[in-house]
């Protein structure tokens, strides 16, 4: 488990230009976050690696980018207009609003801690408030005297009611409901509605998949934990179409692919991850299998990535609503069917948070405490920091910066002592520093310093780019 607290992560993000509070000079907008210079680069690197692993390196995947604003009928067909809601409950005393199922989950986790026998623990772990009716959630909240988590005082709960998470807006110049549209709450539907287009234009044979990265919007009742749950966020989603009956084996393959991406590509620590298969009573009515990859955040185990076998539910729903044929003709077996789909869906901004937490390292070295981000060099926002030991040798240092910047994202810094600068670059997770001094420069050499070991090596300037390129692989 990571020992870092959320406070340390938030401080790092705000002090080191990763994430800022949105609209800060106007007193902020609650739960809106802006990604600063290093945050944008880190997020972009994670996204590009995801595209590389899941699209570029596979011959069965394609990338698309659908519009955020879609015809409202899309959300009627997908079930979001009527069904995309969370159970909202108000404390009449304080007028605060909460998600009833989340308060009940906290209660259940306390019950699990207190359960003394294996049998009791098993019984508690099978309680899934998310699947309970609103009446049952209200009844249990009252029966168990669940407290307001902010005040820990007496409560007076309203009945739990459905709260739709869709953000509404208006298209065209009038405010009438005919022009009402939604900001998409997920990117996935953009893939389903393009299924026929993709099939026609790409002439792909099933199985194949389509990937998409983009913004999604949900009017969350209880956003929070920094960028963990926000109202505006980015998703990276895949819809992988397969033959009915082959869905369970395809689901297992995607579980493995996502696991490899987290462990081998992003180098997330294995002990901080767990794969939780949904039990029958937690599964959506249309799903044959769903797995949540959960991460051990400083505030507990929470979902990072969902991998759902959604059968033919979405394509069928869009066929019914749009009256278009979204079936597939299999030329080999000469049969027509509606494909099943496996959907691995992860929040880019949530994965960004995971990489920060997971790489945050506090180390005792030479009686000093060192904090740094042990990010995999592939995702580090700045790959090389170029620093002349003294400001006045910029005439020899600047050309070296230019040479490196041809190939890598670099920064140049000649302020403060070298030691102070190293500490700052380490905190941002920069894997290499290139230090230039006149003496070594006369021998056409510079010093490369490694972030993790803090060791240093003299390298010929003509071989510098290749030296770093090899180590970034
Ligand atoms: N199309 C399926 C879908 O959207 P989901 O479980 O609602 O499924 C998928 O979302 C992923 O998107 C989650 O596992 C999480 O990583 C991310 N996510 C969902 N809601 C989020 C929010 N409010 N803020 C940040 N990330 C969110």
407 in Cβ contact with 465 (< 8 Å): yes
Q: Which residue has its alpha carbon closest to ligand 1 atom 17?
A: 347
Q: What is the β-pairing status of strands 340-347 and 300-309?
A: antiparallel
Q: Which residue has its alpha carbon closest to ligand 1 atom 14?
A: 305
pLDDT at 1 over 60: no
Which CATH superfamily does the domain covering 6-81+166-358 fall into? Bira Bifunctional Protein; Domain 2 (3.30.930.10)
Q: How far is the CA of 127 from the centre of ligand 1 (A)?
A: 22
Nearest to 101 by CA among 33, 161, 38: 161
Q: According to the model, what pLDDT value does residue 2 have?
A: 63
The answer to whether the CB of 130 is under 6 A from ligand 1 is no
**Could you tell me which residue, 380 or 127, shows the higher pLDDT?**
380
Q: How far is the CA of 237 from the centre of ligand 1 (A)?
A: 10
Nearest to 371 by CA among 359, 361, 382, 357: 361
**Could you tell me which residue, 127 or 308, shows the higher pLDDT?**
308
Nearest to 32 by CA among 293, 232, 173, 204: 232
What does DSSP assign to residue 232?
A: E
Phi, psi angles (nearest 5°) of residue 284? -65, 155
Q: Which residue has its alpha carbon closest to ligand 1 atom 2?
A: 345
Count each helix (H run) and each strand (E run) in the chain, helices first. Answer: 16, 23
Taking residues 439-457, report their average pLDDT.
Answer: 94
The answer to whether the CB of 229 is under 6 A from ligand 1 is yes
- Helical H segments across 337-463, by residue range: 348-359, 394-405, 418-428, 438-442
Q: According to the model, what pLDDT value does residue 263 have?
A: 98
Phi, psi angles (nearest 5°) of residue 362? -115, 120
* Domain residue limits, the chain: 6-81+166-358, 85-164, 382-472
CA distance 282 to 299: 23
Please list, in sequence order, all residues whose beta carbon lies within 8 angstroms of the beta carbon of residue 207, skipping any fewer than 6 positions away.
60, 240, 241, 242, 243, 246, 250
Asked if the 382-472 domain carries CATH number 3.40.50.800, the reply is yes
pLDDT at 177 over 60: no
The answer to whether the CB of 237 is under 6 A from ligand 1 is yes
Percent of the chain at pLDDT exceeding 70: 98
Q: Among the listed ranges 164-178, 273-287, 315-329, 346-360, which one has the minimum average pLDDT value? A: 164-178
pLDDT at 334 over 80: yes
Model confidence band, residue 176 (pLDDT cutoffs 50, 70, 90):
low
CA distance 297 to 264: 20
Q: Among the listed ranges 14-28, 119-133, 218-232, 430-444, which one has the minimum average pLDDT value? A: 119-133
pLDDT at 150 over 90: no
Q: According to the model, what pLDDT value does residue 230 have?
A: 97
Report pTM. 0.92
Q: Among the listed ranges 153-162, 236-245, 443-452, which one has the minimum average pLDDT value? A: 153-162
Q: According to the model, what pLDDT value does residue 282 have?
A: 84
CA distance 179 to 168: 10
The answer to whether the CB of 188 is under 6 A from ligand 1 is yes
Q: Which ligand 1 atom is the nearest neighbour of the CA of 231?
A: 23
The answer to whether the CB of 221 is under 6 A from ligand 1 is no
Residue to mutate, 258, 303, 341, ligand 1, most ligand atoms under 8 Å from C-beta: 303
pLDDT tens for each residue of 369-424: 899 999 999 999 999 999 999 888 899 999 999 999 999 999 999 887 888 889 99
CA distance 366 to 102: 45
Q: According to the model, what pLDDT value does residue 179 have?
A: 77
pLDDT tens for each residue of 281-303: 889 899 999 999 999 999 999 99
**Could you tell me which residue, 19 or 364, shows the higher pLDDT?**
19
Q: How far is the CA of 203 from the centre of ligand 1 (A)?
A: 31
Asked if the 85-164 domain carries CATH number 3.30.40.230, the reply is yes
Q: According to the model, what pLDDT value does residue 128 have?
A: 85
CA distance 419 to 410: 19
Q: How far is the CA of 319 from the centre of ligand 1 (A)?
A: 25
Taking residues 238-251, report their average pLDDT.
Answer: 98
Written in H, E and C, the secondary structure of 413-444 is CCCCCHHHHHHHHHHHCCCEEEEECHHHHHCC
Residue to mutate, 70, 229, 235, 282, ligand 1, most ligand atoms under 8 Å from C-beta: 235
Please list, in sequence order, all residues whose beta carbon lies within 8 angstroms of the beta carbon of residue 200, skipping any fewer than 6 positions away.
none
CA distance 48 to 37: 17
pLDDT at 172 over 80: no
Q: In whole angstroms, how far apart are CA 385 and each of 8, 74, 402, 404, 434?
A: 24, 48, 12, 10, 6
Q: According to the model, what pLDDT value does residue 130 have?
A: 85
CA distance 130 to 284: 11
The answer to whether the CB of 37 is under 6 A from ligand 1 is no
pLDDT at 178 over 90: no
Phi, psi angles (nearest 5°) of residue 292? -105, 130
Q: How far is the CA of 223 from the centre of ligand 1 (A)?
A: 12
The answer to whether the CB of 230 is under 6 A from ligand 1 is yes
Q: Is 243 helix (H, G, I), strand (E, B) or coil?
A: coil
The answer to whether the CB of 187 is under 6 A from ligand 1 is no
């Amino acid at each position: 488990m990571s020992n870092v607290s959320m406070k340390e992560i938030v401080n790092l993000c705000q002090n080191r230009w990763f994430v800022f509070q949105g609209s800060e000079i106007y007193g902020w907008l609650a739960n809106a976050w802006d990604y600063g210079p290093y945050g944008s680069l880190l997020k972009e690197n994670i996204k590009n690696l995801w595209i590389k692993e899941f699209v570029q390196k596979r011959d069965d995947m394609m990338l698309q980018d659908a519009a955020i604003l879609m015809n409202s009928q899309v959300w009627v067909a997908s079930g979001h207009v009527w069904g995309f809601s969370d159970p909202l409950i108000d404390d009449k005393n304080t007028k605060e609003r909460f998600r009833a199922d989340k308060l009940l989950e906290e209660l259940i986790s306390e019950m699990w801690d207190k359960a003394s026998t294996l049998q009791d623990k098993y019984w508690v772990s099978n309680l899934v408030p998310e699947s309970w009716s609103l009446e049952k959630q209200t009844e249990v909240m009252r029966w168990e005297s669940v407290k307001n988590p902010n005040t820990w005082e007496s409560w007076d709960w309203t009945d739990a009611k459905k709260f739709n998470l869709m953000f509404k807006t208006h298209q065209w110049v009038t405010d009438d409901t005919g022009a009402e549209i939604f900001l998409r709450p997920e990117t996935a539907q953009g893939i389903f509605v393009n299924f026929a287009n993709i099939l026609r234009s790409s002439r792909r044979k099933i199985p194949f998949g389509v990937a998409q990265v983009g913004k999604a919007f949900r009017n969350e009742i209880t956003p929070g934990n920094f960028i963990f749950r926000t109202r505006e966020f980015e998703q990276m989603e895949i819809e992988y179409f397969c033959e009915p009956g082959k869905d369970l084996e395809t689901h297992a393959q995607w579980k493995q692919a996502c696991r490899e991406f987290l462990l081998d590509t992003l180098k997330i620590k294995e002990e901080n991850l767990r794969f939780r298969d949904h039990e029958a009573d937690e599964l959506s009515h249309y799903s044959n299998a769903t797995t949540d990859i959960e991460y051990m955040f400083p505030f507990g185990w929470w979902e990072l990535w969902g991998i759902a076998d959604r059968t033919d539910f979405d394509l069928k729903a869009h066929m019914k609503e749009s009256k278009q044929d979204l079936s597939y003709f299999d030329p080999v077996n000469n049969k027509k069917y509606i494909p099943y789909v496996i959907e691995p869906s992860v929040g880019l901004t949530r994965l960004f948070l995971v990489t920060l937490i997971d790489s945050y390292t506090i180390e005792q070295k030479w009686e000093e405490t060192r904090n740094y981000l042990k990010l995999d060099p592939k995702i580090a926002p700045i790959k090389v920091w170029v620093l002349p030991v003294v400001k006045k040798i910029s005439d020899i240092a600047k050309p070296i910066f230019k040479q490196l910047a041809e190939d890598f994202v670099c920064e140049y810094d000649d302020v403060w002592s070298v030691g102070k600068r190293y500490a700052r670059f380490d905190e941002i997770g920069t894997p290499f520093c290139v230090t230039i001094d006149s003496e070594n420069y006369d021998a056409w050499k510079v010093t490369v310093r490694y972030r993790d070991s803090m060791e240093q090596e003299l390298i010929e300037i003509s071989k510098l780019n290749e030296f770093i390129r090899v180590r970034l692989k």
